[in-house]
């Protein structure tokens, strides 16, 4: 276990770009299938929804401020 | 300059005189130290050095809160008004810091003695460790003196001092425990950098107290 | 002082930057590193929470100083709400930090690592926990005082005093305790060597975007509480 932890620390102490390892497993298949776009779309919809809520709140407060 | 030293000295003398006249509070803290150490003595037989170290500093922390808490709380509102008319806030807070430092140095020494008596003293470099204890007691007393001023203004008890102070004191406490660790082995040298950092933090507290106390004091 | 609160341009900028962060953060190339793998993309989300938190706390302290100088209660309201939003970002950062850590640098075969205690000992998380505890204490202190002016004055003093301690602790603690966190024994992501150029292109806009979002939420809260105060006064 110690060696394993040591390895991680080593990787970080070195410059990340130097420590790059082409063999590191990435979600390449997901990217090739294009399914990653589904994830992006879902997150964006949720994010935009929250932002729209904030915008509505903002304009409501602006209206209240004008009434005063 | 000369006048402010005179003011600080007078205020300090007044606090010491009060302490000598009303001995119950001094003995109260003494009893607090004794009782806590006795409870720990019964709860943990023969702790190893790391446990000893941790317990010692935690006890110092609680002793400090109890010793320092009353310094500002004991001043009634009318007395504060009187002080406001005769001395500057800086002199007042310096006198308090000085008094609390002295008090805490005495308390640190006593709790070190009691700790050694009941649970033995694992420090191999006794002189260095005593120095660390004094430095630690001083650091703790400075931080908590200022927090006592805040707590007194908020008309709160010692509990809020603990809430306000614990997050602030963590780095100093960790440093103190680290330095003490070195004093526990014969051939390890006590590292100088953390000691200097502690002193620098103490200087920062004094500076902040001088800058911020005037805002606490005016009503 | 509050003219910027009603402007839209910086809010639109915040949204654009964050949309860019999400799209580019998930799609663009990142360095291939063992163990981190795809989770390296968390840099754009988790690390930004810390940056946003520190920036919001800094704004809070600036307003606290302003209050002590001018005695304008509005500065106190600003100081309070920036602190609250900073706490929200801090909690999010803490939660995402423990999550990320438990999947990357904790040994899955070691049952002790499954406990929260193994992760909470991490120096960076200790620093973050100190920051959170300080500002929780700040809120408790505020609520314990009745008089409005006194509340503002005393809590501003504590805010400044505590903040002056926060920076040394964040700097000192990682250098005292052993850490597995990227960035070795310094402060990660601040060191230019820590991150790749490609990542920097997304990381810096992401920090600005998340911070602006925090500022936006804080200003909404500030405007609401100013409205409330005015209502109280006019009655």
Average pLDDT, chain C: 83
Q: Does A38 touch chain C (CB under 8 A)?
A: no
Q: B192, B212, B210, B190: which is closest to B200 by C-alpha?
A: B192
Q: From C188, C211, C160, C161, select the one nearest C56 (Cα to Cα).
A: C211
From the list A9, A39, A64, the residue facing C26 with the nearest CB is A39
- Gyration radius of chain C's alpha carbons: 19
* Cα–Cα distance measured from residue C84 to residue C225, given in angstroms and rounded to the nearest whole number: 13
B163 reaches C (C-beta below 8 A): yes
- Partner A contacted by C200 (CB < 8 A): no
- Establish if B47 touches chain C: CB-CB under 8 angstroms: no
Q: What integer is the mean pLDDT of A14-35? A: 64
Contact C6 A62 (CB under 8 A): yes
Mean pLDDT, rounded, for C134-161? 92
Q: Which tens digits make up the pLDDT trace of C15-34?
A: 999 999 999 888 887 777 76
Distance from chain centroid for Cα C143 = 22
Instruction: With beta carbons less than 8 A apart as the criterion, state whether B102 and B22 touch.
Output: no
The full set of domain ranges for chain B reads 2-217
| C116 vs B87 pLDDT, higher one | B87
Rounded to the nearest angstrom, the gap between the alpha carbon of residue B109 and the centroid of all alpha carbons in its chain is 12
Residue C195, min C-alpha distance to chain A (Å): 6
Decide: helix, strand or coil at residue A39: helix
The confidence score (pLDDT) of residue C185 equals 46
Chain B nearest-CA distance from C169, in A, is 5
Confidence (pLDDT) at A23: 66
Query: C158 vs B164: CB contact, 8 Å cut-off?
Result: yes
| Closest of C220, C199, C47 to residue A15, by C-alpha | C199
CA distance B168 to C54: 16
C70/A50 Cα distance (integer angstroms): 36
pLDDT in tens, C149-190: 889 999 999 999 999 988 888 777 777 766 556 554 455 555
End-to-end CA distance of chain A: 65
Which residue among C19, C184, C220 sits closest to A57, beta carbon to beta carbon? Answer: C220
Percentage of chain A beyond pLDDT 90 is 29
Say how far apart CA A46 and CA A40 lie, in whole Å: 10
The H or E element that residue C56 is part of is: helix C46-70
Residue the block writes with tokens 């460790």: B129
Closest Cα in chain C to A43:
C22
Predicted local confidence at residue B159, as pLDDT: 81
Contact yes or no for A65 and C105 at CB 8 A: no
Contact C33 A36 (CB under 8 A): no
C150 in contact with B at a CB cutoff of 8 Å? yes
Residue C197 belongs to domain spanning: 3-234
Helix, coil or strand: residue B44: coil
CA pair distance C67, C75, nearest whole angstrom = 5
Q: Which of B15-24, B125-134, C9-18 has the lowest mean pLDDT?
A: B15-24
Residue C1 has pLDDT above 60, yes or no: no
pLDDT(A49) > 90: yes
Q: Which residue has the higher pLDDT, C106 or C150?
A: C150
Which pLDDT value is given to residue C190? 52
Q: Pick from C6, C96, C21: which is nearest to C53 by CA?
A: C96
Which residue of A22, A39, A54 is in closest CB contact with C216?
Answer: A54
Q: How confident is the model at residue C235 (pLDDT cuts 50, 70, 90)?
A: low
């Amino acid at each position: 276990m110690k060696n394993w932890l040591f390895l991680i620390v080593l990787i970080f102490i070195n410059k990340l770009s130097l420590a790059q390892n082409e063999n590191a497993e990435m979600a390449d298949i997901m990217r090739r299938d294009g399914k990653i776009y589904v994830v992006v779309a879902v997150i964006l919809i949720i994010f935009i929804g929250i932002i729209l809520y904030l915008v509505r709140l903002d304009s409501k407060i602006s209206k209240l401020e004008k009434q005063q | 300059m000369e006048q402010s030293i005179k003011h600080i000295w007078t205020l300090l003398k007044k606090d010491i005189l009060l302490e000598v006249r009303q001995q119950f509070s001094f003995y109260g803290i003494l009893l607090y130290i004794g009782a806590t150490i006795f409870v720990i003595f019964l709860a943990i037989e023969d702790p190893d050095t790391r446990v000893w170290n941790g317990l010692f500093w935690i006890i110092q922390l609680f002793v400090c809160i109890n010793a320092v808490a009353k310094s500002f709380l004991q001043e009634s509102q009318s007395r504060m008004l009187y002080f406001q008319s005769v001395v500057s806030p800086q002199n007042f807070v310096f006198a308090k810091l000085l008094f609390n430092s002295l008090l805490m140095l005495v308390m640190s020494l006593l709790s070190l003695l009691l700790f050694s008596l009941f649970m033995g003293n694992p420090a191999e470099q006794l002189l260095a460790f005593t120095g660390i204890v004094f430095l630690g007691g001083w650091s703790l007393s400075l931080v908590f003196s200022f927090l006592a001023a805040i707590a007194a203004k908020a008309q709160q008890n010692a509990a809020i001092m603990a809430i306000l102070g614990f997050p602030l004191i963590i780095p100093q406490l960790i440093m103190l425990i680290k330095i003490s660790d070195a004093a526990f082995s014969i051939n390890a040298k006590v590292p100088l950098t953390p000691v200097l950092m502690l002193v620098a933090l103490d200087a920062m507290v004094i500076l902040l107290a001088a800058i911020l106390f005037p805002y606490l004091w005016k009503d | 002082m509050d003219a910027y609160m009603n402007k839209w341009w910086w809010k639109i900028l915040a949204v654009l930057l964050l949309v860019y962060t999400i799209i580019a953060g998930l799609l663009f190339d990142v360095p291939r590193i063992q163990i981190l793998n795809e989770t390296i993309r968390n840099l754009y989300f988790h690390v930004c929470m810390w940056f946003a938190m520190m920036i919001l706390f800094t704004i809070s302290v600036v307003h606290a100083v302003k209050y002590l100088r001018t005695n304008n209660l509005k500065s106190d309201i600003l100081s309070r709400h920036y602190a609250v939003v900073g706490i929200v970002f801090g909690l999010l950062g803490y939660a995402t930090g423990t999550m990320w850590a438990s999947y990357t640098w904790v040994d899955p075969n070691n049952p002790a690592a499954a406990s929260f205690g193994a992760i909470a000992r991490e120096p960076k998380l200790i620093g973050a926990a100190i920051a959170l505890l300080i500002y929780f204490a700040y809120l408790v202190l505020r609520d314990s005082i009745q008089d409005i002016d006194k509340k503002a004055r005393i809590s501003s003093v504590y805010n400044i005093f505590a903040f002056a301690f926060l920076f040394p602790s964040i700097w000192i603690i990682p250098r005292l305790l052993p850490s597995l966190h990227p960035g070795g024994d310094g402060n990660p992501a601040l060191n230019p060597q820590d991150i790749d150029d490609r990542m920097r292109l997304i990381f810096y806009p992401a920090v600005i975007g998340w911070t602006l979002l925090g500022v936006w939420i804080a200003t909404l809260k500030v405007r609401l509480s100013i409205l409330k105060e005015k209502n109280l006064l006019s009655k």
